[in-house]
Structure 1
């Protein structure tokens, strides 16, 4: 039985066992789709997951005249007839995605103007677009604010410049890359993000003909070119989804093999997973079989630990929420210091309702200070365990928090009701059929 219901009754207490397949990264695929606008010929993107974010970006590209042909796991994107979309058409997608801001650079190059509606995304903290707009202004864009959104124009070709980000923002780094590759002259970006998805986007742009040099000190140099071609690219596997299934195995005392998972992008997570007591086995595909990682709970007690999130190559903030559920079952006191999004620990209130013992603090716990330490945000957590989790009624707060609630419900005693599952469809492909294959017990609410 599978369902697309936005609410589920989930009966916990059964270890998840079996295998799931994870495809292209949700944090790369939509950006690679946007990059296709820059090409003078069609692009082909492979290993594409069937998630809501791909649907949203497909609609946005279609509004701008990009023809998108969809086959299972493959997108062909033809930008030969890129055109202006009306503000009211774009505003249909207002609040559902933050991708429109990343379309600005490519559209300024192709059309000389762009429009940004109200942006959506998960409510996990302040994610201003100031970094984006400041970078575009420095490259020659003009920004006009109107009631329906922001209008950008570039009367002249965008030009290279020197930019230093106040924080290594993934989105702002992507913005500069997408805008600078066709800009006149050279762009130097300092304090850039270095996530694997950034590296994969750079690989896409390099295939198109871009000149990009990545240095070891978070500096990226881009030399603008006059024309880019289409690309043919296999998207890297979603390391964030792979880690979510690993945490589900740990919290439910299960055994899950994630097909498609690769060791390299998960190095930091795997170290933490082992320290907390989980076991894993890596198949790097050397024998001709698909790459995969098997994650399992070996029995016995899990180990409490101190953890701080950080930008890559640190422990990713998107790994934190699923792992916190597993840490409620660890023996001792765990400390989690969230250093990327100030409100990402808000989801723990529901876990406490289920029986967890989690206390939030405004102080920077864990050994180092961060930019939230003096700003009155509850961004550190002390988790005492192990605690028995009991069924509860839950409302999905955001993408990773929502998946974490699923894990908690599957680990709890009794039947929980989880509402607002639509958010999870943004980043997890076929997650209900996958849960079914792993032996989870659920039904539409």
Structure 2
């Protein structure tokens, strides 16, 4: 058996650079679809899932400018495509996170089931039930989730049957542009959810209870510009 022999005591000191959090960056990139303005997202980690999400945004027609440090400027105001295709999302379950923003901002979305996911396995059903509570019309056809809200979304009181990070994020993003007030109870409280909420507030969203299990969202007509740095990866920092 291999062993690590550590002689102590000794005091740790110094600094180390920690990459941006993937689990924060992915929903933040998805949330950029909500904005009518230009969004600058900094401190993105150099990971395949981040590249895939950027490719997905590009496929949707989002205007992108990437710098050498993988900071990215995003403008999604004029996209004309609302389908997230299987060939892009099959390896990245986080692709489901574009469903709420597309639906809220553009009134429609068509998102392939991520690889290995189906209703009832991971809690995608909680995403869909929450969006339906906001007034979305949702159907499943040919491996795609199709969602429509031709008259916009309406605020609602939503209780999450299970704590789900992705479900909380999707519903939070959709509720930000819904008419009226939404209350999300039993919401996930992870730091990555907090980071997403802070990014949305930077764009102009009205969210109370950030960091608690009850989020109160007063919908606004539109979200605008933001300059935001993704939080450091707590898993990387701990290892």
TM-score range for the pair, normalised by the shorter chain length: 0.7 to 0.9
Conservation of the 8 A alpha-carbon contact between 1:107 and 1:114: yes
Please state if 1:79 is matched with 2:92. Answer: no
2:187 pairs with 1:182: no
Is the counterpart of residue 194 in structure 1 residue 189 in structure 2?
Answer: yes
Q: Does structure 1 residue 150 correspond to structure 2 residue 124?
A: no
2:93 aligns to what? 98
Consecutive unaligned residues of structure 2, counting only runs of 5 or more, are 7-13
Q: Does 1:30 align with 2:26?
A: yes
- CA contact 2:155–2:219 (8 Å) conserved in 1: yes
TM-score normalized by the length of structure 1: 0.48
Cα drift, residue 115 of structure 1: 1.1
Q: Partner of 1:56 in structure 2? A: 52
> Following the alignment from structure 1 to structure 2, what is the Cα–Cα distance between the partners of residues 39 and 75?
14
Other-structure match for 1:232: 227
Q: Offset of 1:61 from its aligned partner? A: 0.4
Q: Distance in 1 between matches of 2:138 and 2:180?
A: 22
1:215 CA drift (Å) = 6.7
CA–CA distance in structure 2, aligned partners of residues 230 and 115 of structure 1: 26
In structure 2, C-alpha distance between the alignment counterparts of 1:82 and 1:126, rounded to whole Å: 31
- The CA deviation at 1:172 is 1.0
Shift of 1:93: 1.9
Cα deviation, residue 70, structure 1: 1.5
Rounded to whole Å, the distance in 2 between the matches of 1:200 and 1:101 is 18
How far residue 22 of structure 1 moved from its aligned partner, in angstroms, is: 2.0
| Residue correspondence of structure 1 range 284-433 to structure 2 within 5 A | none
Separation of aligned partners in 2, 1:79 and 1:38:
8
State the aligned residue count. 228
- Does the C-alpha gap of structure 1 residues 44 and 95 become closer, same or farther in structure 2, counting only changes over 3 Å? same
| Closer, same or farther: CA 94–223 of 1 in aligned 2, 3 Å | same
**Aligned counterpart for 2:109 among listed residues 104, 111, 114:** 114
How do residues 132-171 of structure 1 correspond to structure 2 at under 5 angstroms?
Answer: 132-171=127-166
Please, what is the CA RMSD of the aligned residues? 2.4
8 Å CA contact retained: 1:84, 1:111: no
- Call closer, same or farther: CA 1:15–1:116 in 2, change over 3 Å: farther
CA offsets 1:95-145 (integer angstroms, 9 cap, x no match): 2112232111211133221112121379xx941301000000011111111
Would you say the 8 A contact 2:194–2:211 is kept in 1? no
Aligned equivalents of 2:212 and 2:198: distance in 1? 19
- The answer as to whether partners of 1:37 and 1:82 remain within 8 angstroms in 2 is no
- Deviation at residue 168 of structure 1 after TM alignment: 1.7
**Partner deviation per Cα, 1:176-209 (whole Å, 9 max, x = no partner):** 1100011000000101111111111111011111
Q: Is 1:65 aligned to residue 57 of structure 2? A: no
Counterpart-to-counterpart distance in 2, 1:236 and 1:73: 14
Matches of 1:121 and 1:69 in 2, distance apart? 32
How many angstroms does 1:14 deviate by? 7.6
Hey, what's the Cα distance between the residues in 1 that align with 2:121 and 2:143?
21
Measured in 2, the distance between the counterparts of 1:21 and 1:60 equals 28
Give a deviation string over 1:66-97, Cα, whole Å, max 9, x none. Answer: 1222221411111132121456xx11124211
SS at match of 1:59: helix
Contact 2:38 / 2:73 at 8 angstroms: preserved in 1? yes
- Structure 1: any 5+ residue segments left out of the alignment? 1-11, 246-445
